């Protein structure tokens, strides 16, 4: 189906390789819209963050790169959007060998329809006890996951009128569409 090599010893890459195969078969099966979930654990870095975090990000980068290459190879790169999701971020302050659960975090979105090479939202001050720190290095998010999800949902064809049903907290935020999807 595709010649793109995927990294070995990388559970996320193995999952994305299977997803790329299924996406490649989609047109012959008549599918028009598919959603796949993959998982990479290990980011709950209360300890050994300096050792584990670079390895995890390297695996993520290699897996996403191979996935996009495979999609491009089968002619689906422009039709697929890939997004990372997490329910929490990490604190700025250390707990000794890692960090604790925080609020604000970053997400990655890639694909042919993404208005890329930009940051969306407001970049926080990364100063401990700074204006965006609620205490102990926990940053106040400037963009809600509801806004992120609404932007993706609109790209997938969800009508504006249906967004509050899908995302009941969305009316609490000034912007429904963050503008990262073309």
Supply the DSSP string of 42-73, one letter for each residue: ----SS-HHHHHHHHHHHHHHHHHHHHHHHHH
Q: In this predicted structure, what is the pLDDT of residue 2?
A: 87
Q: In this predicted structure, what is the pLDDT of residue 146?
A: 94
Q: In this predicted structure, what is the pLDDT of residue 57?
A: 95
pLDDT in tens, 136-150: 999 988 899 999 999
For the chain, the residue count is 182
For the record, the structure tokens of 57 come out as: 């990000």
Query: How far is residue 127's CA from residue 131's CA, in Å, rounded to a whole number?
Result: 8
pLDDT in tens, 68-106: 999 999 999 999 999 999 877 889 998 888 899 888 788
Q: pLDDT band for position 123 (50/70/90)?
A: confident
How far CA 69 is from CA of 75, 110, 172, in Å, comes to 10, 12, 38
pLDDT in tens, 20-61: 999 999 888 888 889 999 999 998 888 888 899 999 999 999
């Amino acid at each position: 189906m595709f010649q793109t090599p995927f990294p070995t010893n990388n559970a996320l890459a193995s999952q994305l390789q299977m997803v790329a195969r299924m996406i490649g078969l989609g047109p012959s099966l008549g599918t028009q819209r598919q959603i796949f979930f993959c998982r990479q654990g290990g980011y709950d870095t209360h300890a050994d963050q300096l050792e584990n975090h670079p390895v995890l990000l390297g695996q993520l980068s290699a897996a996403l790169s191979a996935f996009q290459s495979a999609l491009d190879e089968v002619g689906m790169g422009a039709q697929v959007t890939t997004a990372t999701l997490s329910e929490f971020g990490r604190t700025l302050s250390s707990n000794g060998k890692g960090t604790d659960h925080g609020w604000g975090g970053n997400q990655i979105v890639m694909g042919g329809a993404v208005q890329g090479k930009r940051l969306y939202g407001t970049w926080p001050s990364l100063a401990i006890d700074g204006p965006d720190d609620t205490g102990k290095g926990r940053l106040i998010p400037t963009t809600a996951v509801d806004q992120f999800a609404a932007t993706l949902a609109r790209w997938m064809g969800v009508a504006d009128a249906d967004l509050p049903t899908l995302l009941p907290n969305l009316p609490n935020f000034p912007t429904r569409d963050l503008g990262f999807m073309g």
